[in-house]
Amino acid sequence: MTPALRDFLVYLKVEAGLAASTLEAYESDLRQLLEDLASRGVDDCLRATPEILAAHLRGLHTERRLDVATITRHLATIRVFYRWLAGNHRIASNPARLLERPAPWRTLPGVMSPGEMKALLESPSPERSALWLRDRAMLELMYAAGLRAAEVGALRLDQFSRDLGMLIVTGKGNKQRLVPIGRPAEQWSEQYLADCRPYLTRFNDNRDRQRLLLSHTGRPLDRIAVWQIVRRNALAAGLEDVHPHKLRHSFATHLVRGGADLRVVQELLGHADIGTTQIYTHVDRAGLKAVIRKHHPRP
């Protein structure tokens, strides 16, 4: 690790307050850049030119066969890194300033139907798992609030307001948002807190006892554990290709299809840019026809 990369990662952690998973992605992308620069005879990232950076990005496609979304993430990492270097006078000019973003096909996120979501939420049972109440509460909260895997695992007891029926969610960049949840999520969470969580805290040695959702050892759920729980219950419900982010996509899409304002959905998801939320405006042709018939003066 070069001094520049080390200082940059410290900046992201301390000043930008990025999550550990985001820091890992930045470090991985930049380590790959440094390795590629070395293979091209550039032994210092401070000596990179626009041509060499562009060649690196092309190689991600032609040699490593990465998809456009992943290459775009690499580009964003490189832009932030070299903008930071220039802003801190480590380099005279920013070689990444003119790098162009690849034009991806806009792919729609995978979405579950309300029936599939119902099947998933109802899949935890005492016959399948001793922690079925924990699983049911977790799934209900993820769908009710559109939570990311890391967000649901990081929930604390004081971020769940039973009186208000709200969650205080800490998202990317440690930004907090207030998200209301419905009665089903409230009721299953309360049942989990009353009948399951006290048993789990016995294994904990007073560590991490403020986390809402706990593992069988009484420790907080990490992202991998959340993925495994979602996957296991999806298979039990007879559903394929289900992952935590699909619950988040379904939450947003079902709201938009139900008539929710896009700005409200943006706030609930914690998106900084409304453009990120606009992907959920996709509707089927039957829905479009129904809107025309209902609202146009001459359908």
Catalytic site positions: 148, 172, 245, 248, 271, 280
Query: For residue 165, which of 183, 147, 149, 152 has the smallest C-alpha distance?
Result: 183
- CA atoms in the 13 A half-sphere facing the CB of 26: 22
Give me the half-sphere count of Cα atoms (radius 13 Å) on the Cβ side of residue 99. 29
Q: Which amino acid is at 106?
A: R
Q: Tell me the residue ranges of DSSP E strands in 133-291.
A: 160-161, 166-170, 176-180
Distance between CA 213 and CA 286 in Å, rounded?
40
Identify the residue whose tokens are 């200082």: 7
Q: Is the dihedral of CA 131, 135, 140, 145 positive or negative?
A: positive
- Residues linked to residue 36 through DSSP beta bridges, in sequence order: none
What's the CA dihedral at 241, 247, 249, 255 to 10 degrees?
140
Q: Cα 207 to chain center, whole Å?
A: 26
d(CA 189, CA 183): 10
**DSSP string across 158-188:** GGEETTTTEEEEE-GGG-EEEEE--HHHHHH
Cβ partners under 8 Å of residue 85, min gap 6: 4, 8, 46, 91, 94
Which tokens go with 176?
């907090």
